[in-house]
Amino acid sequence: MSQSASQTSPSRPVRLRRSVLSVPAINRRALDKLSSLDCDAVIFDLEDSVSPEKKAEARENLRAFFAASPLPGKERIIRINALSSNFGVDDLALVLALEPDAVLLPKVDEPQDVMLVGDRLAEADAPENLRIWAMIETPRGILNAASIAEAGRTSGSRLDCLVVGLNDLRKETGVLPQPGRAYLVPWLMQVILAVSAYGLEAIDSVFNDFKDAEAFEAECGQGRSMGFSGKMLIHPSQIEAANRHFGPDAAAIAEAEAIIAAFAEPGAAALNVVNIGGRMVERLHLVQAERLVHKARLIAQRSIALRQAQDEG
């Protein structure tokens, strides 16, 4: 392992990934509503939510949507079918044509799954800002999470994010869906350790019962406490709670601003530790504070843009 691979994290662009809404690419009505929603990112799904006979139609839906709706301020991710399937090659060709922000790979079991797609993108001379996200949703994916993350940080790699898929993982392991996810927490934390070690981010799994707002709130709080950057969503009604739980609150923003101000004081340039209200704060926290404040500014800017768009609509 390289010296402190996690130090790659500060160089990663700050992105808002509190709420990652998954939308079936076959659902034109859902696609049309996206510009008015306050989600940070959208996964356009060509895989599980689209039946085999509808795959081609779903791809055409995305061609039309991307031509008309750039969705400024939202990260756009296309989830493709596995390249080993009958549909994956056509899906990847669509990704190359549309150039979203990222391509999401399903059921990633080992590093080679990511490296194969990375090689395909490089061969096609895809822009560097077309990134790779990986679904970790199988027992092998969980066991190999660290090696997948490590391979994703090698030279030329595009891997940015791991997304946990608990529905498939439960199905393959027999773990029952229970409040608190007690038997799944060790596996979830393996993913968090992997992304933390190699400067990536992790998105928590979907919560299936979107009508159970109380249980969803609890799971968002749990995911944030574990270290996830955000949550994959299946319904617009889940966006507000995800944004609230995974976003910085007023107290955290104030603390970050105080850290930035302290290190900006005359004479602090040579210090690795400063005293803030009787608490010793190390310089490594300055990078975290700067990222948090930048994220808060992005949220404020996006809120203004969304209100303007809604007023114009």
From residue 191, give the alpha-carbon distance in Å to each of 174, 176, 219, 230, 277: 19, 20, 17, 14, 35
Average pLDDT over all residues of the chain: 91
pLDDT at 250: 87
Return the CATH class of domain 5-245. Answer: alpha beta
Per-residue confidence band for 8, with pLDDT thresholds at 50, 70 and 90: very low
Quick one: tokens of 47?
A: 């895989």
217 is in an annotated binding site: no
Using CA atoms, how far apart are residues 133 and 162, in angstroms rounded to an integer?
Answer: 6
State the first-to-last Cα distance of the chain, in angstroms, to the nearest integer. 52
141 burial type by CB count under 10 A (0-12 exposed, 13-18 middle, 19+ buried): buried
User: In sequence order, what are the residues at sequence separation of 6 or more whose Cβ sits closer than 8 angstroms to the Cβ of residue 96?
Assistant: 121, 124, 126
Asked if pLDDT for residue 121 goes beyond 90, the answer is yes
Using CA atoms, how far apart are residues 75 and 104, in angstroms rounded to an integer?
Answer: 12
Average pLDDT over residues 10-39: 89
pLDDT at 277: 80
Asked if pLDDT for residue 211 goes beyond 90, the answer is yes
Q: 10 Å Cβ neighbour count for 123? A: 8
Per-residue confidence band for 3, with pLDDT thresholds at 50, 70 and 90: very low
pLDDT at 310: 66
Among 10-24, 170-184, 191-205, name the one with the lowest average pLDDT: 10-24
* DSSP H or E segment with residue 44: strand 41-45
Asked if pLDDT for residue 213 goes beyond 70, the answer is yes
Contact 111, 84 (CB under 8 A): no
137 is in an annotated binding site: yes
Among 10-24, 122-136, 192-206, name the one with the lowest average pLDDT: 10-24
Per-residue confidence band for 268, with pLDDT thresholds at 50, 70 and 90: confident
297 is in an annotated binding site: no
Choose between 270 and 217: higher pLDDT: 217
Place of tokens 């799954």: 113
Quick one: tokens of 277?
A: 């209200």
